């Protein structure tokens, strides 16, 4: 935690980084909390991550967030990390300890779950069947969060079956791996469909999935937020499904980061969500 007589400083490391909404989010909270401080984007290539993280101490940072493609690399660099991070195999938050040690945490999993609870407070995850697309670092966090909420089963779909099988081996038998070519035919009992891939993101190809068999009562959650409504969410909304983009997840993973860095618990609000959405639309 930073000393109160000094400006507070944190940031986000990634490559690329200019797309990140994190600076808008965190600097909004600095203003709301009437704190002197700043949150900055830091372009860090993977081979420079170790030196960048070690520089946090000398530069007076309270900590930083990590985004693609640094989350899994950082877990091998920090001095210690939480049990959630070890299970997931990635960290998205680094805190500088008073002795200069770097402590890693993963709040993506709780940000994902709490994003749902904030947007749809009556939606229950316990005992539900969930379909998750993708088996990367974000998928690991999502699946970990879903299992912590007691879902009955996760159908995991990924182009590379071996990567999905590895995730299942690490996180448990409640995960069932579905082959990519069978992805359209396993949605009939799904209560929540989650896209954790970058397909549909601005500049990327659209997600190749048919929602024809998905129940209209299901929630469709695309963890990307640029565009605010991906093609997946547009199709889902038009057929009557509830939809959610990644802004809520981003906000709710950031709240415990502030608790770690500054011993302050900021809050989400419709005003904050609107500001972040306007920023995406203005790009």
Name the residues annotated as catalytic: 71
Closest CA to 156 of 137, 181, 183: 183
Contact indicator for 63, 96 with CB cutoff of 8 Å: yes
CB of 137 closer than 8 Å to CB of 72: yes
Please report, for residues 23, 98, 210, the alpha-carbon distance to residue 254 in angstroms, rounded to integers and kept in the order given: 11, 21, 33
- The CA R_g of the chain, rounded to the nearest whole Å, is 19
Does residue 201 contact residue 172 with C-beta atoms inside 8 Å? no
How far is residue 136's CA from residue 72's CA, in Å, rounded to a whole number?
A: 10
């Amino acid at each position: 935690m930073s000393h109160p007589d000094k400006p507070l400083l944190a940031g986000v490391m990634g490559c690329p980084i200019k797309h990140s909404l994190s600076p808008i989010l965190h600097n909004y909270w600095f203003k709301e909390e009437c704190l002197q401080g700043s949150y900055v984007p830091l372009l860090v290539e993977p081979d420079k991550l170790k030196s960048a993280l070690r520089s946090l101490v000398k530069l007076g940072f309270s900590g930083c967030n990590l985004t693609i493609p640094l989350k899994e690399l950082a877990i091998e660099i920090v001095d210690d990390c939480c049990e959630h991070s070890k299970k997931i195999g990635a960290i998205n938050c680094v805190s500088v300890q008073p002795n200069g040690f770097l402590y890693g945490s993963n709040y993506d999993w709780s940000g994902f779950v709490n994003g749902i609870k904030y947007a749809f407070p009556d939606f229950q995850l316990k005992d539900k069947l969930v379909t998750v697309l993708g088996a990367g670092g974000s998928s690991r966090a999502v699946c970990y969060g879903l299992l912590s909420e007691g879902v009955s089963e996760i159908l995991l779909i990924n182009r590379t079956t071996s990567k999905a099988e590895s995730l299942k081996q690490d996180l448990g038998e409640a995960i069932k791996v579905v082959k990519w070519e069978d992805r359209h035919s396993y949605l009939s009992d799904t209560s929540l469909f989650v896209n954790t891939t970058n397909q549909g993101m601005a500049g990327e190809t659209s997600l190749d999935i048919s929602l024809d068999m998905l129940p209209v009562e299901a929630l469709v959650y695309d963890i990307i937020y640029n565009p605010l409504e991906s093609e997946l969410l547009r199709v889902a909304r038009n057929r009557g499904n509830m939809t959610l983009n990644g802004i809520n997840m981003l906000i709710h993973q950031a709240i415990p980061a502030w608790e770690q860095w500054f011993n302050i618990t900021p809050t989400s609000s419709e005003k904050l969500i609107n500001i972040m959405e306007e920023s995406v639309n203005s790009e």
